[in-house]
Amino acid sequence: MGYYNSNDKKTGKRGYFASSFTGLIAGALLVGVILPGVTDAEPETAVGATTTESVSGVQTTSTVVTSDVTEIVEQTNDAVVGVSNLQMAQQNPFSAPTATDNEAQEAGAGSGVIYKKDGDTAYIVTNNHVVEGAEDVMVTLSDGTELDAEVLGTDVWTDLAVLKVPSKSIETVAEFGDSSVLKAGEPVIAIGNPLGLQFSGSVTTGVISGTERLIPIDVNQDGTEDWQSEVLQTDAAINPGNSGGALINAKGQLIGINSMKIAQAAVEGIGLAIPINTAIPIIADLETEGAVERPSMGVAILDLAEVPAQYRTGQLGLPAEVEGGIVVQSVVEGSGAATAGMEAYDVIVELDGKPVKSILELRQYLYNETEVGDTLEVKAYRGGELMSFELELTESM
């Protein structure tokens, strides 16, 4: 889903996380959001104003100002942490050994949100691309305390990951809100670590620009759209390192996990976050199971669009009017598809009465509309004949 920018060995600069989308939206980066602001209202309280006179005779006034934004940040800021991806550096076989050759070094840094504290353990949600490829993960609290973290589970499809750390030094935990009730124009606050831990705890404010946006994702970076991620859109500026940070509503509740931005020359102010209602069930599975349980038909598949025209009418025997579908390349022995009688070169065109024309549509239907154990009605062409199958969905491996 994402990749990190490795450390520059000549300058010693810290790496940070980013990822480019291919497909429908070129140049969208997987970086965390510093999401936009909560209110434009004037400060509610000005406390402790004192007037002094400088040596030059000019009077200055020192005022401590608080507002809705500052109060929310004070309540939630400690729940946002830095997440460092540590990896063994590539060694030059011709260079002399050094004392740090066998030590993991920071390959990139992102953000995370503490969402639960249970006894001696605290749990943190971040992005999958923040910890992807890590040999070790280090969490840095807002006061600078560093904790070794264990990755409990990751999910490439939703770009989420869950970590656990000792809870002794942790007091603040984020409160989940309800992202389903968000409206365009609603004020929000984003907290994260743009450009890594150098700017830890950065706060930005803005509004929700749109809800239920679908963004194409190229999971394996092969130039083909694999998934469509549902996200919240905000007008905040997004920078590398904000990935996994918190998007907070005006009540101080966590309503999104900052994850992406659209990065094109003609685009400004399009930041994206994973809605918390989408994230919660994924977080629960990753915390308890280490992976997300998703249904599987038990087939290896290929988009019909990738099959040359002569093979569609020849080897597959498809009617000329069939322009979209999914070709079964092989069937897993003992799977639901095998039990139902499906075979290689069957061409799937319908699931539960709904047409499917691509692997993306098939995957979106399976993952969003069905569960393990459900019975799936499949229609597929075999040698020019449209056939029906009923198969039981099993857990994907």
pLDDT in tens, 73-120: 899 999 999 999 999 876 656 666 665 556 778 888 899 999 999 999
Same domain, 264 and 317: no
pLDDT, residue 343, reads 96
> Lowest-pLDDT range, 248-262, 277-291, 337-351?
248-262
Query: Is residue 96 assigned to a domain?
Result: no
Q: Distances from the Cα of 25 to the Cαs of 217, 228, 267, 273, in angstroms?
A: 9, 11, 11, 16
Query: Is residue 99 assigned to a domain?
Result: no
Tokens of 72: 């929310």
Query: Is residue 60 assigned to a domain?
Result: no
pLDDT, residue 205, reads 87
Mean pLDDT confidence for 135-157: 95
> Given phi > 0 = left and psi -120 to 50 = alpha, else beta, which region is 168?
alpha
Query: Is residue 57 assigned to a domain?
Result: no
95-105 pLDDT per residue, tens: 666 655 567 78
pLDDT, residue 229, reads 85
Mean pLDDT confidence for 332-340: 95
The CATH number linked to 5 is: 2.40.10.120
Residue that wins the pLDDT comparison between 287 and 323 = 287
Return the half-sphere exposure (C-beta side, CA atoms, 13 A cut-off) of residue 262. 22
Mean pLDDT confidence for 43-48: 48
Query: Is residue 27 assigned to a domain?
Result: yes
pLDDT, residue 230, reads 87
Query: Is residue 206 assigned to a domain?
Result: yes
Number of domains composing the chain: 2
What is the chain's mean pLDDT, rounded? 82
What's the whole-model pTM score? 0.76
User: Where do we find the tokens 């093979």?
Assistant: 311
Nearest Cα to Cα of residue 186 among 263, 74, 273: 273
pLDDT, residue 226, reads 81
Largest CA distance in the chain: 95
Mean pLDDT confidence for 5-29: 39
Same domain, 134 and 268: yes
Same domain, 301 and 361: yes
pLDDT, residue 20, reads 35
Tokens of 151: 């990755």
The residue range of the domain holding 360 is 295-395
pLDDT, residue 263, reads 59
pLDDT, residue 223, reads 78
Tokens of 322: 């069939």
